[in-house]
Amino acid sequence: MEPIDGATQDPTPGPTPDPTQACPISPIADIVFSRWTTPILWALNQYGMLRFVELQRLIGTITPKVLTQRLRQLERDGLVVRTYHAEVPPRVEYRISDLGRSLAPLFAHLVDWSNDNLPRVTEAREAYDAEPGH
């Protein structure tokens, strides 16, 4: 099979390429599109500052352990800000950071793409599944 640009491929294997060079969006896809990250960021962007239980309630099926892990990772990545209030009982609130909010246009484009194309994806899946041998 020929490369799309018509160049010939060197048959001798070279060093393993850096995945970020092969696909420059891989690092951001790993950060933003993991299983629970997108719903967390979406909720914080839509509803503003939320307490842990409010966030958990909005997302639904996420366990407290997983929500804690994801929030810690998002805080580490600079996408979420955690505010601890030393009062009785202690109160912790989460909000999306400016860096996290900068992803909102990307999410808006994905919503548009979904609205425009999800029916076509469903049709393609149904056609594929209807073929013999699938």
Would you kindly state where each structural domain of the chain is located, as residue ranges? 23-102
Q: What is the CATH number of domain 23-102?
A: 1.10.10.10
pLDDT of residue 1: 44
Q: What is the pLDDT of residues 13-38, one digit of tens each?
A: 566 666 556 788 888 888 888 889 99
Q: What single-letter DSSP state applies at residue 16? A: P
Count the Cβ atoms, other than its own, within 10 Å of residue 97: 17
- pTM for the full predicted model: 0.73
**Of 107, 106, 125, 117, residue with least CA distance to 42:** 107
Split at pLDDT 50, 70, 90, the class of 122 is: very high
Type of residue at 38 = T
For residue 133, pLDDT beyond 90: no
Is the pLDDT confidence value at 70 over 70? yes
**Given a cut of 80, is residue 45 above it in pLDDT?**
yes
